[in-house]
Structure 1
Amino acid sequence: MRSDMRHSLLAVSLIGAATHAGCSEGVLSPQGPIASAQRQILFNSLGIMLAIVIPTILATAAVAFWFRSSNWRAHYMPDFEYSGRLEMLVWSIPAMTVLLVGGVAWVGAHDLDPRKPIASAVDPVRVQVVSLDWKWLFIYPDEGIASVNQLTIPVGTPISFDLTSSGVMNSFFVPQLGSQIYTMAGMVTRLHLQADDPGTYRGLSANYSGEGFADMRFSVEAVPPEGFAQWAADVRKTGPLLDTASYAELVKPSQAVAPFTYRGVAADLFNGVLSPAMQPHDHSSLTGPASQREEK
């Protein structure tokens, strides 16, 4: 008996810890204007649905209680077929729910369009993102530097992302900053985010992309503007140069890559990544060794 109670308490504790961790680092703990607006849409939609679900549950319990066999006041009507008032009630409630939730989603989709710049008195920082197997490349064209699996951004400054993929379609997602968006080879998707508070935020791939998908994560370091300028200056002093040759090495599949930086970037490298000539021709990394053996 005591052992069962201990196991139950342990299970409750683990579930509570997991729930708290998810809230503290996920979409329910926004750290920017986009994520905050998305959380509000989530809460609005939840409130609308609960306004329907809760009365429905209560009404079901009330009907079951009223029409119990021991209640002689409940009328048995075996010939009942149709009631216009009931039909009106039954269909108007879901119709109203669809209209309200759909309206919230429609307004939010236009207000939070990923391509829509964030209104700010501060000029945005441009970042070019390339999803690789299985890592993330971040190029800062105005600073002339790049990093792998580490995104450093200034606090309170809009970040304008141009995103593409080296081959396999992927998905860029920083839960606490908002707006998951796909990356596709030969195409550019655009996204605008902003961090309001300093901190380290979790970034990840939200689309399965093969054997090394589990390690395809990156950290977002939100620092004060002067800290960002100092970081960029420090990066320019050390590290290799990102040119066509070093990119060809970087694009090769690798897993659990530790973050590192490039002190310089070849001119127009990002646009070169979009060309078919720089796309990797071996896509066997997606299927994994077992599938390769089957093909042979």
Structure 2
Amino acid sequence: MSNQIKFVGRLFVLPLLLALSGCNMVVMSPSGDIAMQQRDLIVVSTVLMLLIIVPVVCLTFFFAWRYRNSNANAKYDPEWHHSTGLEVVIWSAPLAIIIALGAITWISTHKLDPYRPLDRIDAERAIPPETKPLVVEVVALDWKWLFFYPEYGIATVNEMAAPVDVPIEFKITASSVMNSFYVPALAGMIYAMPGMQTKLHAVINKEGNFEGLSANYSGDGFSHMRFRFHGLQQGGFDEWVARVKQNGTALNRDAYLKLEKPSIKEPVRYFATVEDGLFNAILNMCVHPGQMCMNEMMHIDMMGGGGVESHENRQKLEYDNRHADEEAPGATHPATGNPPRSEEPAEGVDEGGSSMNGMNHDAHQGHAMPEGSQGGPAPAQLNTNESTQP
């Protein structure tokens, strides 16, 4: 009977081992100093919590066995109701662990702040004062990654590289929906949001070919939104840059607008030259000709608004980064005329596909820009009560 129980137990364990054999433990065995510190934080926090969990679980089984009905030697005291020593142990141990976890969390939150420039290469080496970080500008597209290297004037799609032991400063944004930039071997994930710039400071300490991915669901091609991150020695990195310049094409605004269109399983691409100011135009959502940049709009708002004359700016602020009018993948009725994914019409849309209450896209066409206003935003001026409505 005992052998049969052991055999059944092994049968239950075998599928678990097979499942774990496919796990990638890169998070617990990273190659970058920031990821290593995050790994250590996970380990320390887990151990501290296990100091409570393990004794409680063990004592639960011990009490069940010690005070079982068949144990006549167990002391039975129905009048017992309080023990000062036991109360001290029950409350002081968790309190001490909570204080320790709080202190570790507070210190780590500031030390591992992704916006904070690095102060060390690894646990044994500080960063020399004259060291200049490698700047990489990241754009999350549908469904691919675009990397700019402004110091080298190049860009790549779904592949990036960095020299070992050189600090990296990532500037991250998105052209479409919210996304998340994540290289598990390098550092934690950072959100990428359209019209906003987030930052990440990290360093890779080992050579290797690592995987990067999107860690935030963003649509049809999300599961294939992956890229390769190469950790190279300085000589190898210089060769990689030279290869990009030799095999790459030009990336200007027209090329970017084509690249921006949603696509799945996009191959690696190299761009040997990049139009000046392209990343800032992507960040400010004004790559398309005639659009107003967000920083221009914010400047107008800061100056008090554009007054009633600025109504024509509305059309300049329209932003269709998924090219719905070109029947992009995933776009549905009524934006493209593609069949809806549900029999029920969307809220605010009638059976014919047009918006109710006159609030369709064509209604905005009445705000046509007058001649002579195409060159830029309306002049900034303060709104006053004396302004008249058009």
Please, what TM-score do these two structures have when normalized by structure 2? 0.68
Of 4, 11, 26 in structure 1, the residue corresponding to residue 15 of structure 2 is: 11
C-alpha contact (below 8 Å) 1:166/1:280 kept by paired residues:
no
Whether 2:227 is the aligned partner of 1:223: answer no
Structure 2 gap ranges (5+)? 120-126, 288-318, 334-338, 347-352, 354-390
| Residue 165 (structure 1) aligned to one of 162, 174, 178 | 174
**Relative to structure 2, which stretch is displaced further, 113-122 or 7-16?**
7-16
Residues 1:106 and 2:115 aligned together: no
Code of the residue aligned with 1:226 in structure 2: it is G
Equivalent residue for 2:320? Answer: 280
* Residue deviations 1:23-57 (CA, integer Å, cap 9, x gap): 1xx21111011011111111101111111111112
Deviation at 1:69, TM superposition (A): 1.6
Distance 1:12 1:293 in 2: 38
Q: In structure 1, what is the Cα distance between the partners aligned to 2:42 and 2:34?
A: 12
> CA offset at residue 194 of structure 1?
1.1
Contact 1:209 1:286 in 2 (8 A): no
Pairing 1:12-91 to 2, within 5 Å after superposition:
14-19=18-23, 22-23=24-25, 26-91=26-91
Once the two structures are TM-superposed, the CA of residue 15 in structure 1 deviates from its matched residue by: 2.5
1:182 aligned residue: 191
SS for the counterpart of 1:178 is coil
| Equivalent position amino acid for 1:158 in 2 | P
Can you list the C-alpha shifts for 1:112-139, whole angstroms capped at 9, x where unaligned?
1101112323321100000000000000
Relative to structure 2, which stretch is displaced further, 256-265 or 120-129? 120-129
Q: Secondary structure at the match of 2:191?
A: strand
**Aligned counterpart, 2:268:** 259
Of 275-284 and 149-158, more deviation after overlay is shown by 275-284
Q: Distance in 1 between matches of 2:248 and 2:59?
A: 67
Deviations 1:156-196 (A, max 9, x none): 11111000010200000011111111011111101011111
Match of 1:248 among 253, 257, 270: 257
Residues 10/45 of structure 1: CA separation in 2 closer, same or farther (3 Å cut): closer
**SS, match of residue 286 in structure 2:** helix
Whose relative contact order is higher, 1 or 2, with alpha carbons under 8 Å and at least 6 apart? 1
- How much does 1:102 deviate? 2.2
Is the alpha carbon distance of 1:243 and 1:292 closer, same or farther for their aligned partners in structure 2, counting shifts above 3 Å? farther
CA distance in structure 1 between the partners assigned to 2:110 and 2:82 by the alignment: 42
After superposition, the Cα gap between the structure-2 partners of 1:124 and 1:16, relative to the gap in structure 1 and judged at 3 Å, is: same
**Maintained 8 Å contact 1:251/1:280:** no
Could you report, residue by residue, the CA deviation over 1:69-128 in whole angstroms, capped at 9, with x for unpaired residues? Answer: 223343334344444443333333332232222222221111111011123233211000
Aligned pairs for 1:193-232 (under 5 A) are 193-232=202-241
Q: Look up the SS of the partner of 1:97 in the other structure.
A: helix
Q: Secondary structure at the match of 1:263?
A: strand
Distance in 2 (alpha carbons) for counterparts of 1:16 and 1:189: 34
- Tell me if structure 1 keeps the 8 A contact 2:261–2:321: no
Q: Distance in 2 between matches of 1:150 and 1:262?
A: 12
Decide whether the 8 Å contact of 1:211 with 1:288 is kept in 2: no
TM-score scaled by structure 1?
0.89
Question: What corresponds to 1:115 in structure 2?
Answer: 115
Native 8 Å contact 2:176 2:322 kept in 1: no
The amino acid that maps onto 2:222 is F
For structure 1, list consecutive stretches of 5 or more residues without a partner in the other structure. none
Identity %: 38
Displacement, 1:230?
2.0
Q: Distance in 2 between matches of 1:65 and 1:176?
A: 46
C-alpha distance in structure 1 between counterparts of 2:58 and 2:16, whole Å: 28
Contact 1:210 1:286 in 2 (8 A): no
Q: Secondary structure at the match of 1:18?
A: coil
The structure whose residues are more often helix, as a share, is 1
> Equivalent residue of 2:189, what SS?
strand
**RMSD (Å), alpha carbons:** 2.6
AA in 2 matched with 1:57:
V
What is the CA deviation profile of residues 216-240 of structure 1, one whole-angstrom value per residue up to 9, with x for unaligned ones? 0000011111111122122223322
